[in-house]
Amino acid sequence: MILVELNKANYEYDVNSLVRAFYPGEQTTILTPESTDQRRQQADSDAAACAERGEAVLQMRMELSEDAAQVQLGERVFNWEYKENALDYKHDFKRFLYSALREFTGKTLPWGSLIGIRPTKIAYGMLDEGKSEQEILDTFTGVYSVSEEKAALGLDIAKREREILKDVHYEGGYSLYIGIPFCPTTCLYCSFTSYPIAAHRKQVETYIDCLIREMDFVSQHLSDKVVDSIYIGGGTPTTLEPAQLERLITALKERFDFRTVKEFTVEAGRADSITREKLEVLHRQGVSRISVNPQTMKQETLDIIGRKASVEQVLAAYRLAREVGFDNINMDIILGLPGELEADVQRTIDKIVELAPDSLTVHSLAIKRASHLSKWIQENGIATLNNTDGTMRIAAEGAKRLGMAPYYLYRQKNMSGNFENVGYAKPDKYGLYNILIMEEKQTIVALGAGSITKRVWADGRIERCDNVKDVGLYIDKIDEMIERKRALFAEAD
């Protein structure tokens, strides 16, 4: 357990993110002058319980003043003086705290003091400002303590993203996301809005009715805007029956001008939800890109994480998609899954290379509090999750063997190994929507339970409105969900 006493509020997020990056899987509690007596009593109780179990409790104390800071880690004390010519106090304190934790633990993090989920935005913004590639690399390695390898990766992806997005309508356009929050089962690591389809089958038709009502509002209210990309995600969209998929996409095409759509993606995802009839509906309706996601090609791991589709089903679903005629298929894998070693990752990559998909998304396992994985770790230990430079390199080399280049990147909190998620693709097979949602360059209008609409203004401001997560509540409050969007888009750019 990590117990942090912090003398200033509004630094909790940054401190928590860095501490948890160095101590993954550890319970971390941060107390500030604003913490209630109840929270302090709970922290004392948790620490006492850890001590009784023989588990270590690391005490940290952080004292911040206007021009200095002191961090006590166990028995060691680290001091820092703020320089007037520095970027800003909070940023430089984060860099100091990273250095202190690095020295104290003997560990380094590949992304240094960066805790945000979009590191490529730094490189992208500097390119827009006319900065040289060396200036960008120096900023990554010098200002943020990022490794040279990750700095080069961030710059490479930012350059590729700028080229891919050059024809996108930033101000005069938007992209559309449609969320299908149903899955065959819930995977161990999942924290997305998803519900077992078997228990919600009777609600699906009404849910589609509500999606169509949101479509009606968006198509009418944003009729002067161009739609660049459409992404149907989830959940697992292919949990819908063929007739339901047909109905949904037909309604979509009746309301939006597909002549401007550069990419139309449906995330098929789970092989145990894929049938020839469903794939034929998607292909006939002009879906240009789909995903068939194994996560791993090791059956024992699939059993542990509750992913019911077998390796054989994944292989069969992929081949079926090719037979139906899809020429842009993505596959997702996750590194750091329970018990997987480098040899397991190598076998997964070798199988994927044999299949030759058009793009490959490599996820580093993120430990989400809302997932069943957190409880699994408590019972089995964090040491069973092995994501390393070696596993990341195996995946990157596999993508290179397939003739792919990295084209988008993002990070998540509590990510195994403090690494990143990277999308690789063959030329002209890049996932446009993936870049747009990460770089926040264009408005994303999102429909469905648990989805979040992001309005990007011409001056770079971003405003959001979200739909409720619960399916039943979404159906009951569909008028309110539409009014939230109306309020968000009431004011012209």
Q: Is residue 443 part of a domain?
A: yes
Tens digit of pLDDT for each residue in 103-135? 999 999 999 999 888 899 999 999 999 999 999
Radius of gyration of the chain (CA): 23
Residues 145 and 251 in one domain: no
Mean pLDDT of 207-215: 98
Q: What is the dihedral of CA 444, 448, 449, 454, to 10 degrees?
A: 10
Q: What is the mean pLDDT of the chain?
A: 91
Poorest-confidence range of 26-30, 367-371, 439-443, 487-491? 367-371
Region of 431 (left: φ > 0; alpha: ψ -120 to 50; beta: rest) is: beta
pLDDT attached to residue 234 = 87
**Inter-residue contact 18 to 101 (CB < 8 Å):** yes
Q: Is residue 358 part of a domain?
A: yes
Q: Does 185 have pLDDT greater than 80?
A: no
Tens digit of pLDDT for each residue in 218-240? 999 999 999 999 999 988 999 99
Task: Note the pTM of the prediction, 2 decimals.
Answer: 0.90
pLDDT attached to residue 375 = 64
Residues 419 and 467 in one domain: yes
Please, what's the b/e burial string for 176-198 (b: 16 or more CB within 10 A of its CB; e: otherwise)? bbbbbbbbbbbbbbbbbbbbebe
pLDDT attached to residue 113 = 92
pLDDT attached to residue 376 = 66
Among 147, 162, 177, the domain boundary falls at 162
Q: Which residue has the higher pLDDT, 374 or 134?
A: 134
Region of 344 (left: φ > 0; alpha: ψ -120 to 50; beta: rest) is: alpha
Q: What pairing do the DSSP bridges indicate for beta strands 182-183 and 58-64?
A: unpaired
Residues 245 and 313 in one domain: yes
Residues 236 and 353 in one domain: yes
CA distance 286 to 264: 8
Residues 434 and 410 in one domain: yes
Q: Is residue 493 part of a domain?
A: no
Count of CB atoms situated within 10 Å of the CB of 224: 6
pLDDT bin (cut points 50, 70, 90) of residue 383 is low
Please give the residue range of the domain that contains residue 149: 108-162
pLDDT bin (cut points 50, 70, 90) of residue 87 is low
Mean pLDDT of 478-492: 95
CA distance 44 to 35: 13
Residues 248 and 373 in one domain: yes
Q: Whose structure tokens read 């550890």?
A: 26
Residue 126, SS3? Answer: helix
DSSP state of 365: P
What's the distance, CA 31 to chain centroid? Answer: 28
Among 57, 89, 105, the domain boundary falls at 105
267 CB-side CA count, 13 A: 23
Residues 73 and 137 in one domain: no
Q: Is residue 352 part of a domain?
A: yes
Residue 458, SS3? Answer: coil
Residue 275, SS3? Answer: coil
Nearest CA among 179, 203, 204, 206 for reference residue 193: 179
Mean pLDDT of 62-73: 94
Q: Is residue 489 part of a domain?
A: no
pLDDT attached to residue 189 = 62
Q: Is residue 174 part of a domain?
A: yes
Positive or negative torsion for Cα 200, 201, 206, 212: positive
Close Cβ partners of 58 (under 8 Å, ≥ 6 residues apart): 1, 2, 3, 23, 73, 74
pLDDT attached to residue 304 = 85
Three-point CA angle 254, 257, 258, nearest 5° = 95
Residues 255 and 284 in one domain: yes
Mean pLDDT of 13-41: 91
pLDDT attached to residue 493 = 64
CA distance 266 to 40: 47
Q: Does 323 have pLDDT greater than 80?
A: yes
Element (H, E) at 289: strand 289-292
Residues 137 and 91 in one domain: no
pLDDT bin (cut points 50, 70, 90) of residue 387 is confident
pLDDT attached to residue 59 = 93
| Residue 78: CATH number of its domain | 3.40.50
**Inter-residue contact 11 to 90 (CB < 8 Å):** yes
pLDDT attached to residue 146 = 95
Residues 87 and 116 in one domain: no
Q: Does 285 have pLDDT greater than 80?
A: yes
What is the percentage of the chain residues whose pLDDT exceeds 90?
74
pLDDT bin (cut points 50, 70, 90) of residue 372 is low
As for how many domains the chain has, the answer is 3
| Residue 297: CATH number of its domain | 3.30.750.200
Q: Does 187 have pLDDT greater than 70?
A: no
Tens digit of pLDDT for each residue in 255-276? 999 999 999 999 988 899 999 9
CA distance 255 to 179: 17
Q: Does 188 have pLDDT greater than 70?
A: no
CA distances from 28 to 48, 279, 295, 368, 472 (A): 14, 45, 29, 14, 34
CA distance 106 to 360: 33
pLDDT attached to residue 456 = 95
CA distances from 41 to 9, 29, 47, 327, 479 (A): 19, 12, 10, 59, 43
What is the percentage of the chain residues whose pLDDT exceeds 70?
92
pLDDT bin (cut points 50, 70, 90) of residue 416 is low
pLDDT attached to residue 150 = 95
Burial (CB count within 10 angstroms: exposed 0-12, middle 13-18, buried 19+), residue 124: buried
**Inter-residue contact 272 to 414 (CB < 8 Å):** no
Close Cβ partners of 125 (under 8 Å, ≥ 6 residues apart): none
pLDDT attached to residue 374 = 61
DSSP bridge partners of 462: 456
Residues 223 and 239 in one domain: yes
Positive or negative torsion for Cα 340, 343, 344, 346: positive
pLDDT attached to residue 210 = 98
pLDDT attached to residue 467 = 98
pLDDT bin (cut points 50, 70, 90) of residue 192 is low
Residues 459 and 384 in one domain: yes
Q: Whose structure tokens read 């990752």?
A: 345
Q: Is residue 57 part of a domain?
A: yes
CA distance 467 to 177: 12
Mean pLDDT of 90-95: 89
Nearest CA among 292, 304, 288, 301 for reference residue 352: 292
pLDDT attached to residue 199 = 81
Q: Whose structure tokens read 């449609």?
A: 178
Q: Does 30 have pLDDT greater than 90?
A: yes
Tens digit of pLDDT for each residue in 150-159? 999 999 999 9
CA distance 485 to 319: 40
Q: Is residue 490 part of a domain?
A: no
